[in-house]
Amino acid sequence: MLQQCGVDSILVKHQSDLTGIDGLIIPGGESTAIRKLLVREDMLENLKELVNDGLPILGTCAGLILLVQSESLAGLDAKVVRNGFGRQKNSFEEPLELKGIDHDFNGIFIRAPYISEVGPEVEVLAKTDDGRIVAVREKNVLATAFHPELTDDSSVHELFVKSIVG
């Protein structure tokens, strides 16, 4: 997706990889496993500082969960419901109206969370048809409950690069 946006990228796996980056994408997966890896690689506290210092962050699915949890990155003033749409068998796709994108975006939800509450500084960017919040922005953080990387549409990544990273 980042290549489609014309952006160079690196994999961030170690503390030293955080030096000199202009932004970070925390992908989907299993948030507990990602957090354990961040602790094991001694990256959690440094990354939390970078988020609070304004490093642009895109969190998708598990990345959203890590951005909300106070014991993780605490970069987003919100509450999240883990596996909010159900188990793996309840995965689904839904077209979303997403602020900042001029067409419906196909949200792919896999054991996805949703956001149940947002703080006063959080801008809601998208909701599902049943009204659950699934995309938000707060300062340097953009977060989605769905997996934009699983589509052919790079619009969410373009939004991140243009409006968050600059």
**Among 34, 28, 46, residue whose Cα is nearest residue 109:** 28
Active site residue 5: no
26 three-state secondary structure:
strand
Rounded CA separation 61/155 (Å): 17
Distance between alpha carbon 131 and the CA centroid of its chain, in Å? 19
40 three-state secondary structure:
helix
Active site residue 147: yes
- Helix-helix angle 31-40:44-52, to 10 degrees: 100
Our CA angle for 123, 128, 131, nearest 5°, is 75
Set 138, 147, 157, 158: catalytic member: 147
Set 138, 149, 157, 158: catalytic member: 149
Set 61, 138, 157, 158: catalytic member: 61
Tokens (6 digits) for 54: 């304004």
Active-site residue list: 61, 147, 149
